[in-house]
Amino acid sequence: MTKTIETAFNIVETILELEKAGVAELADELNKPTSTVHDYLQGLEEIGCVVNDNGTYRVGSRFLSIGTRMRSQLEIYEMAKPELQNLAAKTGEHASLMIEENNYGVVLYTATGERAVQVDIHDGDISRLHTTAPGKAILANFSSERAEAIIDHYELTPRTPHTITEKSEIFEELDDIREQGYAIDREELFEGMQGVGRPIVVGDNVIGAISVYGPTGRMDESKITEKVSDMVLETVNVIEVSLKY
């Protein structure tokens, strides 16, 4: 159903992968006739979804526009943004806000500290919840039925050599996280990067999670438990209070 929309997005994603592309190149990549691809591109151009620089197309700014307007409508984003900038400044690393959407974790916003390493991660990126520190913090605070339902949706393929691939192991860790209040990512998402995450809880609902990530050298486990974890907690507390008014 709605096959048209799906192929439209496929075309956009393909352009994104190639950075820019012509009709023939895209048609080849998508195994579709050039005439069909051309029809789509023309339609997509009319509504600002792609931009045509004499023959080669790139993705247009319409997506950015819709995406940022959507984000600004989320109260949690507006409350968290300035606090994340504080947190990034204090730690010098990456500070992010994650929410759950459709069984996956979505990074809504990342503030970048002075010393933060350059990683190729963007606002809007999605990941399986058990593969990140903030994702695990969210999972740990869902009901066990809901957490299990989510995990069952996933294929537990590893992302890095350190990614957990055993369901039982995940649940063991979730227990620990619930107890100590924060989750640690030990190079499970990116090799060489460690992070700590804490849930944002208002009433009985987990609204999202805050995390700080940095290179393993600067973010070893003792530093997390001694300092960074507390800074994240402070940030979370401020956000939780803002959300309650």
Residue 55: contacted member of DNA, a copy of itself, none (CB under 5 to 8 Å, by partner type): DNA
Closer Cβ to a copy of itself, 49 or 147, answer by number: 49
In the complex, minimum distance from the CB of residue 70 to a copy of itself, in angstroms, rounded to a whole number: 4
Distances (CA, A) of 178 to 142, 153, 212: 10, 22, 18
Contact between 124 and DNA by CB under 7 A: the answer reads no
Binding-residue total with DNA (CB under 7 A): 25
DSSP code at position 7: H
Q: Can you tell me the distance from the alpha carbon of 238 to that of 20, in angstroms, rounded to the nearest whole number? A: 43
CB contact set of 168 (below 8 Å; sequence gap of 6+): none
Cα separation, 159 vs 171, whole angstroms: 18
Q: Is 41 in the site for DNA (CB under 7 A)?
A: yes
Residue 23 interacting with DNA (CB under 7 A) = yes
With beta carbons less than 8 A apart as the criterion, state whether 80 and 97 touch: yes
Enumerate binding residues for a copy of itself (CB under 8 A): 1-2, 4-6, 8-9, 12-13, 16, 19, 39-40, 42-44, 46-49, 51, 58-73, 101-102, 106, 108, 120, 122-126
Of 241, 173, 184, the closest CA to residue 207 belongs to 241
Residues at the contact surface with DNA, assessed by CB under 7 A: 1-5, 7, 22-25, 28, 32-36, 38-43, 52, 55-56
